[in-house]
Amino acid sequence: MRASVVLSLSLAFIVSGAKAEGSQWLTHMIAENEQSSAHQVVLGSNKKDEGFFSTHELIVFYGSQCPHCKQFAPIVKAWATRNNAQLLPLSLDNQPLPEFPQFLPATTEWINAAFGGNAINYPATFILNPESKALYPVGFGSMTDAELNGRMTMLIVKIKAYERRGSLS
């Protein structure tokens, strides 16, 4: 049941991302972030790795005073490092966490792209394909390392299939 909810949300974000693409705001936002030195908050190895995260990034929205965010930050940081994933922490209150001393503010554009007018729950983790501008939700709330690893393992397979064939089935 959880998997189908995640997949439904993924498809919804892909569809909403396609509608937003005409405005080009996300394209410009990503381009600005890639050119800025602040984007060097990336953890893990760069695009030399031929794995999934050589073409995708991991995004986490957090609040510095949120106890769940404080609990989840070391877990997601360690996961990103182990899996050579580029991690982009986006702060909802423009404050760092010890694991994310360098971060970007969660701008209105990022929030709208990720939450699409729905309630903002955090920590919130997404996979971003910078080329297609697709955001795939991984989870909302804190997770254990095992939960994060399980979701990522399942979701990466689905994302690869979707991006090859255009279907999350």
**Predicted pLDDT of residue 165:** 86
CATH number at residue 138: 3.40.30.10
Query: CA quadruple 106, 134, 86, 137: dihedral positive or negative?
Result: positive
**pLDDT of 104-146, one tens digit each?**
999 999 999 999 989 999 999 999 999 999 999 999 999 999 9
Q: pLDDT tier at 161 (50, 70, 90 boundaries)?
A: very high
CA distances from 139 to 15, 27, 43, 55, 165 (A): 18, 24, 19, 20, 24
d(CA 99, CA 102): 9
Domain count for the chain, please give it: 1
d(CA 95, CA 105): 8
**Predicted pLDDT of residue 25:** 42
Tell me the H-state helices in the chain.
2-20, 25-35, 67-82, 108-115, 145-165
Mean pLDDT for 72-95 is 97
d(CA 44, CA 29): 22
Write down the pTM of the prediction.
0.72
Q: pLDDT tier at 150 (50, 70, 90 boundaries)?
A: very high
**pLDDT of 51-65, one tens digit each?**
899 999 999 999 999
**Predicted pLDDT of residue 169:** 53
d(CA 73, CA 68): 9
DSSP 58: E
Determine the structural domain holding residue 63 and report its residue range: 2-165
- Residue scoring higher pLDDT (2 or 74): 74
d(CA 4, CA 158): 11
**pLDDT of 1-49, one tens digit each?**
444 433 344 444 443 444 444 444 444 444 455 444 344 444 444 444 4
Q: How many CB atoms lie within 10 A of CB 94?
A: 11
Name the strands in the sheet holding 86-91, side by side, starting at the edge strand that comes first in the sequence: 104-105, 86-91, 57-62, 124-129, 134-140
Mean pLDDT for 68-76 is 98
